[in-house]
Amino acid sequence: MTIAHLLEDFGVVTPVIPENSFSEEIVEEAKLESFEKGYSAGWDDAVDAKDKESTRISASLASSLEDLNFTYHEAQSQLIESLDPMFKVLTSVILPDTMAAAFGHHIIDHLNDMAKSQTNGPMEIVVAAGEGAGLRALLGESFPVEVFVREDASFSEGQAQLRVGSAERELNSGALIDSISESISAFSTQFKEDSQYG
């Protein structure tokens, strides 16, 4: 005798369905309905997943653009701040020295330009006190016609007045340097204000 009757049976009991209890149409309709429900649920899941992914990508892109924009403005601010001392040295030391060294040649260039239209008139240059001797030496080397050089104590260094016949021209390298310096300072101040207040 076996003990099978004492043990519980875990096997799957398949219910026996009578063959004629469901028609083929009902079975096909049930299958179709089941397929539609499954397809619809899958489609909804896919749409939800796509929406969530789109939202995540949009948020990530917006964050990246914000970081990029912040990084650009931060880099631009640091660049301007690091260039500011260089601009100050440029306008307070380098430009004045360069203008002073080239001022005589600048005068001669303007004098040559003016002489093209005024060939017969007298030529006169008025410069600041102490600048006449150097200009006379430069004129003697490069200008074939006699030019009268006069010093005026009211002129500042880097300032000159040129007369050729009836034409006159004023040069003022100090005012030019001041204008450049003011422009750079205004740009720097405006940039700092714009970056501070957005």
99-197 — its CATH code?
Answer: 3.30.2320
Per-residue pLDDT of the chain (198 residues; tens, 9 = 90+): 677 777 777 766 665 555 556 678 888 888 888 888 888 888 888 899 888 988 888 888 888 887 776 677 777 777 888 888 888 888 888 888 888 888 888 888 888 888 887 767 788 999 999 888 888 888 876 666 778 999 999 998 889 999 988 889 999 988 888 888 888 888 888 877 777 665
Compute the distance between CA of residue 96 and CA of residue 178 in angstroms, rounded to an integer: 10
78 token code pair: 């640091």
| Annotated domain spans of the chain | 99-197
| β-sheet bridge partners, residue 150 | 126
Count of CA atoms in the C-beta half-sphere (13 A) of 33: 6
